[in-house]
Amino acid sequence: ESIRQWCTRFGPEYSRNLKKQRGHLGTAGILMKFITIRGEKVYLWRAVDQDGDTIDLLVQKRRNKQVEKRFFHQLLKGQCASPI
């Protein structure tokens, strides 16, 4: 009961402070390459941040727009941003 009261009282302020500290999303990019893995040609999708660090990968044998959209929507959902 005391934990619930604490959350009710301090939760909104704590949440606002976390959002302020997190800052805004920087620029990011999506890189697509056609590569060979174990003799098979595959599509390699990489999501990179503004520093060039890889955020996530997707490897596909064939291009599938639905899978690609779901992958990037999940990625943006994890970053607390809405897809454009």
pLDDT digits (tens, 9 = 90+) for 31-66: 788 888 889 899 888 877 777 777 778 888 888 788
Sequence ranges of the domains in the chain: 2-78
Give the span between the Cα atoms of 73 and 82, in whole angstroms. Answer: 8
Residue 63 Cα distances to 21, 34, 58, 82, angstroms = 38, 11, 11, 23
pLDDT of residue 79: 61
- Comparing 84 with 40, the larger pLDDT belongs to 40
pLDDT of residue 34: 86
pLDDT of residue 84: 47
pLDDT of residue 3: 80
Model pLDDT for residues 20-34, shown as the tens digit of each residue: 665 555 666 777 888
Give the span between the Cα atoms of 69 and 57, in whole angstroms. Answer: 13
Q: Which residue reads 């005391």 in tokens?
A: 2
